[in-house]
């Protein structure tokens, strides 16, 4: 497993979303301290926007993408996750790493925390060990309509490759298989479109169960507030470099 890494010439900043920990130059660093260093250069309007986004953010649904072949689809799904408040996106790269651009994601990958995996089994086992149900989109005799899935349970939604769908390993480890009913000749949807349909429905279920808001607890809210402050401030890296420079004197 790899985590998203933000680098400068003299600094490596890693937000470990699963552990809710921050590392700078491979050492633990208190995210509250980091936030206190960068927050003064954020205006009140941006801070208020972050608070509103945190109110709607969701941790009870993670999205897993297994071996996608089209970078455009991956970027579009990251944008969908951000739009509907899904914070964590898991990327299983069995075909090698993809290079990100802003072409389709509109910069959404800045706001969604992404974990990279190299083995499907490792990724799915991580969630199963924590009592999270694996819901995969797949054509099979046992697949149920996505509207019948209980997404109020902690869920990892698995989307497969554009051409081949989910792997056999993923199928064996899935707790639920679901399908989007089709009423046309093509009998299929682009994976990014399918993901958007299911994510919208799942997040609506979750918000209904939480009086119309997100499901972050206080610790999650604080950690991701720090993450958003860092990402929203164009001077974050410079401010952190200055902080370490002063400490070295």
DSSP state of 146: G
Cα→Cα distances 50→39, 56, 84, 225, 227, Å? 12, 10, 15, 7, 10
152 labeled binding residue: no
Question: Residue 22 CB: number of other CB atoms within 10 A?
Answer: 22
137 labeled binding residue: yes
Q: What's the residue count for the chain? A: 249
Q: Which residues are CB-contacts of 30 (< 8 A; sequence separation ≥ 6)?
A: 22
50 labeled binding residue: no
Q: Which residues are CB-contacts of 149 (< 8 A; sequence separation ≥ 6)?
A: 135, 155, 176, 178, 202
Annotated binding site for S-adenosyl-L-methionine: 137, 180, 189
Annotated binding site: 137, 180, 189
């Amino acid at each position: 497993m790899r985590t998203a890494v933000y680098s400068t010439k003299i600094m490596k900043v890693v937000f470990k979303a699963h552990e809710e920990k921050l590392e700078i130059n491979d050492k633990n660093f208190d995210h509250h301290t980091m936030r206190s260093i960068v927050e003064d250069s954020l205006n009140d309007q941006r801070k208020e926007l972050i608070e509103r986004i945190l109110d709607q953010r969701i941790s009870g649904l993670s999205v897993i993408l297994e071996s996608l072949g089209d970078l455009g689809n991956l970027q579009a799904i990251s944008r969908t996750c951000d739009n509907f408040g899904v914070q964590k996106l898991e990327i299983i790269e069995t075909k090698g790493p993809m290079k990100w651009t802003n072409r389709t994601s509109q910069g959404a990958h800045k706001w969604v925390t992404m974990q990279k995996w190299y083995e499907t089994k490792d990724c799915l086992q991580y969630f199963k060990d924590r009592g999270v149900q694996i819901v995969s989109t797949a054509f099979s005799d046992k697949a149920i309509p996505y509207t019948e899935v209980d997404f109020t349970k902690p869920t990892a939604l698995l989307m497969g490759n554009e051409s081949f769908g989910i792997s056999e390993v993923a199928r064996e480890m899935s707790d639920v298989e679901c399908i989007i009913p089709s009423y046309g000749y093509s009998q299929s949807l682009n994976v990014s479109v399918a993901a958007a349909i299911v994510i919208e429905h799942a997040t609506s279920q979750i918000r209904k169960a939480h009086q119309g808001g997100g499901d972050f607890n206080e610790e999650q809210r604080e950690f991701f507030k720090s993450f958003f402050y860092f990402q929203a401030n164009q001077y974050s890296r410079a401010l952190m470099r200055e902080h370490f420079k002063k400490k070295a004197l």
